[in-house]
């Protein structure tokens, strides 16, 4: 039963949309609220999607991502290595090698090698903090409980989550907690922000430098208001979140990746570290390992690619991709890229057609129009790796 595995009081029910702790603030800011993954969420504020997108690339955007699922995984033995080994049975990622204070991207796989969800997990010293997609929260909770329940406590967290993204993010957050300026990309640490304990990671979903900040639900409004009061910080809705992640070449679960796509098809094998590959210290041992490891070595039949339509018309999810007039694939995410001032898309094509520069077609409103395979991301990432 969906929802049964979470204890969050904000959990969606069949007849009402759930609200995040920032709902009142969104309404006060003039947001247009829409249903998303069982939540009532801001798709845009009065500035509009284009301006919100550009504001994030030029200064900083504040996003409410409290709808996402947050979990604590805690080893019953107290030994983090036990937790990491148990977690590695669910994800093809090197969890044992993740040091305290560091975060990693990963995905839950199924027996066929498909992706059940993608996630971020952080080593918090005595537990993992896991952030999953809102629409997959209940399914992930069930998967983790079944796979880890013997060795770990799997606890859904009732916390708010905001993302502060863009080149002005560091200055804005450092005004509240100077120590965040020393963090590098995918560092995670506990800090005190606006008088409350917070877990801050230097990561995000926009291709920009920035932070994701987890706080107790009741402290979310005060944090959001404190950040919005900083120079250059604008509220940004789900509309611009989508165009930002698309330009950054990042996958949206349920669109670019799903239970039918493998990590290699999705061009995500970079997230499978050598320790989990053949010849590594702990090869395989996760669902679908046989197929996924074979594809890492031999390639998959199809591949997720970036696509640049030649005209001005956006090409969206479902648009068919052609080669010589024959349909060879489909777009899984697409739209207008405000920073490129041009349409951009991602989709799947046969691997032989996946090289950047390959010219293909796409059928838009009955016309077969030219598109070019492009390397991803479409925009240069602003991550602070130094």
Partner 1 sequence: MLKFTEEHEWLRLDGEEVTVGITEHAAEQLGDLVFVELPEEGATVIKGDEVVTIESVKAASDIAAPLDGVITEINPAIVANPALVNDDPMEDGWFFKMTLADVSDLDSLMDEEAYREYIA
Binding-site ranges for partner 1 (CB under 8 A): 43-44, 48-51, 53, 239, 243, 312-314, 316, 335-336, 338, 343, 365
CB neighbours (10 Å) of residue 153?
14
Which residue, 29 or 43, is less far from partner 1 as judged by CB? 43
The rounded distance, in Å, linking the Cα atoms of 117 and 110 is 10
Three-state DSSP class for residue 190: strand
Which residue, 316 or 383, is less far from partner 1 as judged by CB? 316
Which residues touch 13 (CB under 8 Å, ≥6 apart)? Answer: 3
C-alpha torsion angle, residues 282, 288, 291, 293 (rounded to 10): -20
Q: What's the token pair of residue 241?
A: 């979140």
Partnered with residue 331 across adjacent β-strands are: 347
Q: What's the token pair of residue 365?
A: 């409103």
CB of 106 to partner 1, least distance (A): 30
Q: What's the token pair of residue 327?
A: 């349909």
Which residue, 70 or 339, is less far from partner 1 as judged by CB? 339
Is 265 among the annotated ligand-binding positions? no
Tell which residue, 3, 66, 75, 77, has the closest CA to residue 39.
66
Which residue, 94 or 242, is less far from partner 1 as judged by CB? 242
Which residue, 166 or 309, is less far from partner 1 as judged by CB? 309
CB of 292 to partner 1, least distance (A): 35
Which residue, 207 or 335, is less far from partner 1 as judged by CB? 335
Which residue, 106 or 335, is less far from partner 1 as judged by CB? 335
CB of 50 to partner 1, least distance (A): 4
CB of 379 to partner 1, least distance (A): 16
Q: What's the token pair of residue 288?
A: 């679908």
Which residue, 106 or 338, is less far from partner 1 as judged by CB? 338
CB of 53 to partner 1, least distance (A): 8
Which residue in this structure is represented by tokens 């969050």?
Answer: 8
The rounded distance, in Å, linking the Cα atoms of 91 and 119 is 10
CB of 46 to partner 1, least distance (A): 10
Which residues touch 296 (CB under 8 Å, ≥6 apart)? Answer: 264, 269, 272, 277, 278
Q: What is the DSSP string of 33-73?
A: EEEETTEEEEEE-TT-HHHHHHHHHHSEEEEE-TTSEEEEE
Output DSSP code: residue 172: H
The rounded distance, in Å, linking the Cα atoms of 70 and 75 is 17
CB of 255 to partner 1, least distance (A): 14
CB of 58 to partner 1, least distance (A): 16
Question: CA-CA distances (angstroms) from residue 302 to 42, 260, 268?
Answer: 35, 12, 13
Give the residue ranges of the annotated binding site for substrate. Answer: 212
Q: Which residues are part of a known binding site?
A: 212
């Amino acid at each position: 039963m969906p929802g049964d595995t979470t204890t969050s009081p904000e959990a969606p029910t069949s007849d009402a949309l759930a609200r995040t702790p920032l709902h009142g603030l969104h309404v006060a800011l003039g947001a247009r609220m829409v249903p998303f993954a069982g939540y009532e969420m801001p798709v845009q504020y009065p500035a509009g999607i284009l301006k919100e997108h550009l504001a994030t690339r030029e200064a900083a955007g504040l996003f409410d991502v409290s709808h996402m699922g947050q979990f604590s995984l805690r080893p019953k033995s107290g030994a983090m290595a036990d937790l990491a080994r148990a977690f590695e049975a669910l994800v093809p990622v090197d969890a044992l090698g993740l040091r305290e204070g560091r975060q990693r991207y990963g995905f839950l796989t199924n027996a066929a090698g498909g992706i059940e969800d993608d996630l971020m997990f952080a080593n918090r010293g005595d537990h993992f903090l896991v952030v999953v997609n809102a629409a997959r929260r209940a399914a992930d909770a069930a998967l983790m409980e079944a796979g880890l329940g013997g060795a770990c406590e799997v606890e859904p967290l009732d916390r708010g989550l905001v993302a502060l993204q863009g080149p002005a993010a560091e200055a804005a957050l450092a005004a509240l907690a100077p120590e965040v300026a020393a963090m590098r990309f995918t560092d995670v640490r506990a800090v005190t922000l606006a008088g409350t304990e917070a877990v801050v990671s230097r990561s995000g979903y926009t291709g920009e430098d920035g932070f994701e900040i987890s706080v107790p639900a009741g402290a979310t409004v005060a944090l959001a208001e404190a950040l919005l009061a900083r120079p250059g910080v604008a509220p940004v809705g789900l509309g611009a979140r989508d165009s930002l992640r698309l330009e950054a070449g990042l996958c949206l679960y349920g669109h670019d990746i799903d239970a039918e796509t493998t990590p290699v098809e999705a061009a995500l094998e970079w997230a499978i570290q050598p320790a989990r590959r053949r010849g590594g210290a702990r090869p395989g041992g996760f669902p679908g390992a046989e197929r996924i490891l074979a594809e890492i070595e031999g390639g998959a039949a199809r591949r997720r690619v970036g696509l640049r339509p030649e005209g001005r018309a956006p090409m969206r999810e479902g648009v068919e991709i052609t080669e010589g007039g024959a349909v060879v694939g489909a777009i899984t995410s697409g739209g207008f890229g405000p920073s490129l001032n041009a349409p951009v898309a991602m989709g799947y094509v046969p691997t032989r057609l996946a090289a950047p520069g390959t010219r293909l077609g796409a059928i838009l409103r009955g016309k077969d129009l030219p598109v070019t395979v492009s390397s991803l991301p479409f925009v240069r990432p602003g991550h602070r790796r130094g």
